[in-house]
Structure 1
Amino acid sequence: MADSQRNEPRRRRTRYRRLRYAYGPYDGGPDPLAPPFDIRQAMDEIGRDVMEGSSPQQALRELLRRGMRNQDRQTRGLDDLTRQVWQRRRDLQRDNRLDGTLEEVRELLARALEAEREALGNEDSDDARFREMQLEALPNDTGGAVRELDSYDWRSSDAREAYQEIRDLLGREMLDQRFQGMKEAMQNATPEDVERVREMLDDLNNLLSQHAQGRDTTEQFREFMAKHGEFFPENPQDTEELIDLLAARAAAAQRMLNSMSAEQRAELAQLAQQAFGDPRLAQSLSQLDAQLQGLRPGEDWQGGGRFRGENPMGMGEATRAMEELGQLDALAEQLAQSYPGARLEDVDLDALGELLGEESRVDAKTLAELERELQRQGLFERAADGSLQLSPKALRRLGESALRDVVDRIGARRGERDTRRSGAAGEATGATRAWAFGDTEAWSVPRTLLNAELRRAGGDPRRLDVSDVEVVETEQRTRAAVALLVDTSWSMVAEGRWVPMKRTALALHQLISTRFRGDDLALITFGRHAQTVELGELVGLEGAYAQGTNLHHALLLAQRHLRRHPDAMPVVLVVTDGEPTAHLEPDGEAYFDYPPSPYTVRATVAEVDRLTGMNAMFTFFVLGDDPRLAAFMDDVARRCGGRVVTPTLDGLGAEVVADYLRTRR
């Protein structure tokens, strides 16, 4: 017993040792917990389209049409899904034809006639010869022949069986057009089964007639379903739902008939009277179709389609094919998103998955979630005129992306690396102060925790509150007033410099608004005229053909901005690809001339001199390889003590940001 007790702890320890787990990164494919889309990537693509001149609404539509890649999976866009819809539609019409029932009836009729002629040939009687003459005199069309044989007394049991099979086939196909699963259910129908179907149709027509007259059919519908519910596996909940179900199929059946030739329609009309050997079935179905068309005139009762394949379809199968074509057409309209107020939530995901596969359903669902998430996160807002615009939050996202690309390019060029540490506003003074919104200084952890403990000692149960936070004070840095002057003349658009210019402005704006909050940036565009714009205006600015590069007007606006900040270090950054060819006259009109007029050159240089007198630091970013522009900028830079930089388009943002940082240092 003692040995057993001594061994017990050892056994327990052994058991515990077995319960060890190893944790590591998931390596079974794409991260199952990752979001189905990347909002940052989506905003980058939308932002690029907006900067190229699309409206935010157009850019969003284009992203959804194009789709996007996330991790290792490509989410197909609306264009690809629509293409798949039309391909499915083409395949359906290319591979099939609608006369399968007629073809099967012809084969059964030929089999019946052959068996009957063989039986008559073995008889040596006048009656047999008379019957042979009857068979020879049958109409050439299948419908007429089947009708004529309705009262014929068959000598051959095989022929009689084949003819009865024609009647049963017609009945099953006609019911299969309107009621799901009826073809299989009536495979070996007895006269009692046929009578039950006819009774159901009579009750159904009576129910719809009462409903069409505006009477309350709630109780009648309940009784109908209790009696005939087996014919409706979809389990409709009320009369309206039942009508919707039946009308969609009846309309598809009518479209199938519309797609057939006049001769084929006439044959089917005659054959319908022979369904189950009881013309009342065709009459009841005809009455049902008429009532449904009156109750649901909005269904497509007039359409059709051209089927040219080799695979024959029966009436029920062909009706389902027409129903599928209708669903595909509806999906194509939903995916096109061309109607007012269209949203991806309108797309019938269940129908999409059923017709095109689960992968297509997942793609459409992902796109709908992306659209909804972009709206939910407030990345778009409505302007006063009702148009959709990028929100400040979206512009910050685009700025972060542009700045990240610029920092990567600067690091690759200089061997530097991006850092996640917040840059302090200066050297720490040793003092602390309460945190205020917008502060980026480091927290003083001791003071923050002390404040929290003192507050809790006073009875406040919260562990930490924003009022507890204190930050380390730093000595004040020199402020800068920055004017970024960007050329928006037509040559910037024509030479592919439009988007790099906008991304440069985004990156610089993001850097100043997050790392140098004390600096003040003015964005000034200049073409025939110049104007100070907000970041959102610049991002959404469309290129327009207008002659003139009015650097003179832009320098006037830069001077106004710098004078509003007399205590700040003045910085002027100019991005241009052409000589100044316009200047502002005293009356406010722009004077244009090319080659540049001496008046324009003198007016522009005079403004450079005035800004130089304000100790402004100039940097000119010259795009392109125009020797006249290079010579002019070199002369101006020597005159004002500035710098001339000739970046590539890809390196423009990195050069502007790096120059700003160099100036700040």
Structure 2
Amino acid sequence: MSDELLSGGDLEDALARLSRWGIPGRMEGMKDLLERLRSAKQRRAQRHDLSTAFDQLKEKLEEVKRLEREGLERRRSTPAPNEQMRQAMERLAQERLGQLDALPEDFGRAVRALKDYEFVEPKAAEKYQELLKELQQQVLGSYFKNMRDSLKNLSPEQLERTRQMIRDLNRALKERMEGGEPDFEAFQRQYPELAGSAKDWDDLLRQLAQGMAAMRSLWQSMSPDMRSQLEELLGTAFADPGLQAAMNELADTLSQLMPMESYEHGMSGDEPVSLAEALGLMDEMNQISDMEDVVRSARASGDLDPLDPDQVERLAGPGARQSLEQLQKMIELLEEAGLIRKDGERYELTPRGIRKIGQRSLEEIFATLKRDAFGSHRSRSRG
């Protein structure tokens, strides 16, 4: 900081420049913190392959088709009590096998087409329902992150509870938009799986908005072909009109109450990810992007308080946390050392700080004289 003041800047400018650039070899600045965040996001982008997000689900679809084909062939080859029943089974098998052969190559459209297919093999029908249930779990789990555990093995009763929960949430948020004060604690007691970890309505809204933003980012980061498949999958998994309407209403309400930025993330790695992992990855990268925005804004405002050190460490590593904490404590340490104090809205040097700067100035002058003494010529004067 002394260097900054020696160059003629005032204290506020010196503090701002110190925060922005740090002290080489001794303290990182906002520029370094921003680079750490960028690197954390880039590592994720260069590691994962978004095009594999449907691969696990595709394998499950292939299993459904295989089980149905095997069931049809088994029934086809089983001796019938009479010729009429044999011919009927043959016609049924040919019809169903033809329908399976005619399924679209596009994964999403194939899943949707099977929605109206009449399965002959019970195991195949069961596996198809499991596929749809897994889709529901992964998508709902991205929207309602706190509910991921409770959404496992999603039963019809749990799905109905989720539907009712979203309706109640929509009513509470609508009341809040109209100036009312819905009872958060009552909602939290009724739906602890969703609101249990939230401090208040704002905290819950922030969590929900992050989930919605992750889905939007996934959509934006996908190729047009994958977007089409995802659209088909979501339409099939959430064919329930009541649930779909409630989710749409919640999305509209959140966009008004808690608008949250979603980002497009280019992925260039080769490590496979499931749909659930892809949504989690989008959420992490969105959070890092939000942190980058805070740091960029702090270049002007100096306010890094919105950044949570625990979150920074979780997403960008311990080095980023240390960098953040040093920046957050810089002013505090200077005040504790008695070098600066706040005068209204601005900081000023204390008498002790002025003495330190004076000492630093003498050190600079002495260092200059010393360099000259060992330079190409000697000074004849002394003083």
- Relative to the length of structure 1, the TM-score reads 0.49
Q: Which moved more, 1:85-94 or 1:196-205?
A: 196-205
Partner of 1:174: 139
* Aligned ranges 1:286-297 → 2 under 5 Å: 286-297=248-259
Q: Is the 8 A contact 1:67 1:367 kept in 2?
A: no
The alignment partner of 1:185 has SS state of coil
Q: Is the 8 A contact 1:210 1:217 kept in 2?
A: yes
Instruction: Output one character per residue of 1:541-578: Cα deviation in whole Å (capped at 9) or x when no partner.
Output: xxxxxxxxxxxxxxxxxxxxxxxxxxxxxxxxxxxx9x
Q: Is the 8 A contact 1:168 1:276 kept in 2?
A: no
Partner of 1:234: 197
Partner of 1:398: 357
Q: Are 2:200 and 1:245 aligned?
A: no
Q: Are 2:351 and 1:500 aligned?
A: no
Q: Is the 8 A contact 2:49 2:267 kept in 1?
A: yes
Q: Are 2:37 and 1:85 aligned?
A: yes
Partner of 2:60: 108
Q: Are 2:127 and 1:162 aligned?
A: yes
Partner of 1:285: 247
Q: Is the 8 A contact 1:272 1:282 kept in 2?
A: no
Partner Cα separation in structure 2 for residue 234 and residue 288 of structure 1: 20
Instruction: Output one character per residue of 1:223-264: Cα deviation in whole Å (capped at 9) or x when no partner.
Output: 433322223332342x34332321232123212212112322
Q: CA RMSD in A?
A: 3.5
Q: Is the 8 A contact 1:100 1:313 kept in 2?
A: yes
In structure 2, relative to structure 1, the CA distance for the partners of 1:387 and 1:369 (3 Å cut) is closer
In structure 2, relative to structure 1, the CA distance for the partners of 1:623 and 1:313 (3 Å cut) is closer
Partner Cα separation in structure 1 for residue 303 and residue 134 of structure 2: 45
Partner Cα separation in structure 1 for residue 128 and residue 298 of structure 2: 53
* Aligned ranges 1:507-518 → 2 under 5 Å: none
Partner Cα separation in structure 2 for residue 218 and residue 279 of structure 1: 26
Cα deviation, residue 61, structure 1: 4.1
Partner Cα separation in structure 2 for residue 167 and residue 48 of structure 1: 64
In structure 2, relative to structure 1, the CA distance for the partners of 1:622 and 1:92 (3 Å cut) is closer
* Aligned ranges 1:21-420 → 2 under 5 Å: 46-52=1-7, 56-64=11-19, 65-67=21-23, 75-122=27-74, 123=76, 125-212=90-177, 214-219=178-183, 221-237=184-200, 239-275=201-237, 278-297=240-259, 299-301=260-262, 303-336=263-296, 338-375=298-335, 379-380=339-340, 392-400=351-359
Percent same amino acid at aligned positions?
26
Partner Cα separation in structure 2 for residue 283 and residue 248 of structure 1: 20
Q: Quick one: which amino acid aligns to residue 372 of structure 1?
A: E
The alignment partner of 1:274 has SS state of helix
Instruction: Output one character per residue of 1:481-510: Cα deviation in whole Å (capped at 9) or x when no partner.
Output: xxxxxxxxxxxxxxxxxx537977xxxxxx
In structure 2, relative to structure 1, the CA distance for the partners of 1:314 and 1:255 (3 Å cut) is same
The alignment partner of 1:81 has SS state of helix
Cα deviation, residue 337, structure 1: 5.7
Q: Quick one: which amino acid aligns to residue 80 of structure 1?
A: D
Q: Is the 8 A contact 2:221 2:264 kept in 1?
A: yes
In structure 2, relative to structure 1, the CA distance for the partners of 1:198 and 1:115 (3 Å cut) is same
Partner Cα separation in structure 2 for residue 167 and residue 138 of structure 1: 17
- Relative to the length of structure 2, the TM-score reads 0.81
Cα deviation, residue 132, structure 1: 0.9
Partner Cα separation in structure 1 for residue 285 and residue 196 of structure 2: 23
Partner Cα separation in structure 1 for residue 101 and residue 68 of structure 2: 12
In structure 2, relative to structure 1, the CA distance for the partners of 1:261 and 1:313 (3 Å cut) is same
In structure 2, relative to structure 1, the CA distance for the partners of 1:208 and 1:316 (3 Å cut) is farther
Partner Cα separation in structure 2 for residue 241 and residue 82 of structure 1: 26
Q: Quick one: which amino acid aligns to residue 212 of structure 2?
A: A
Q: Which structure features the higher share of strand residues?
A: 1
Partner Cα separation in structure 1 for residue 377 and residue 31 of structure 2: 40
Partner Cα separation in structure 2 for residue 153 and residue 114 of structure 1: 15
Cα deviation, residue 130, structure 1: 0.8
Cα deviation, residue 282, structure 1: 3.3
Query: Relative contact order: is structure 1 or structure 2 higher (C-alpha 8 Å, sep ≥ 6)?
Result: 2
Q: Is the 8 A contact 2:142 2:276 kept in 1?
A: yes
* Aligned ranges 1:530-609 → 2 under 5 Å: none
Cα deviation, residue 170, structure 1: 0.8
Q: Is the 8 A contact 2:64 2:125 kept in 1?
A: yes
The alignment partner of 2:172 has SS state of helix
Cα deviation, residue 85, structure 1: 1.0
In structure 2, relative to structure 1, the CA distance for the partners of 1:100 and 1:166 (3 Å cut) is farther
Cα deviation, residue 207, structure 1: 2.1
In structure 2, relative to structure 1, the CA distance for the partners of 1:623 and 1:223 (3 Å cut) is closer
Cα deviation, residue 200, structure 1: 1.2
The alignment partner of 2:353 has SS state of helix
In structure 2, relative to structure 1, the CA distance for the partners of 1:387 and 1:278 (3 Å cut) is closer
Q: Quick one: which amino acid aligns to residue 150 of structure 1?
A: K
Q: Is the 8 A contact 1:108 1:166 kept in 2?
A: yes
Cα deviation, residue 350, structure 1: 2.8
Q: Is the 8 A contact 2:108 2:229 kept in 1?
A: yes
Cα deviation, residue 181, structure 1: 4.3
Q: Is the 8 A contact 2:305 2:328 kept in 1?
A: yes
Q: Which structure features the higher share of helix residues?
A: 2
Partner Cα separation in structure 1 for residue 49 and residue 342 of structure 2: 51
Partner Cα separation in structure 1 for residue 150 and residue 228 of structure 2: 27
Partner Cα separation in structure 1 for residue 180 and residue 4 of structure 2: 56
Q: Quick one: which amino acid aligns to residue 60 of structure 1?
A: L
The alignment partner of 1:184 has SS state of coil
The alignment partner of 2:64 has SS state of helix
Cα deviation, residue 89, structure 1: 0.6
The number of residue pairs the alignment matches comes to: 367
Cα deviation, residue 52, structure 1: 4.9
Give unmatched runs, 5+ long, in structure 1: 1-45, 406-498, 505-576, 578-620, 631-643, 646-655, 660-665
Q: Is the 8 A contact 1:259 1:304 kept in 2?
A: yes
Cα deviation, residue 361, structure 1: 2.3
Q: Which moved more, 1:281-290 or 1:340-349?
A: 340-349
Q: Quick one: which amino acid aligns to residue 365 of structure 2?
A: P
Partner Cα separation in structure 2 for residue 300 and residue 368 of structure 1: 25
Cα deviation, residue 277, structure 1: 6.5
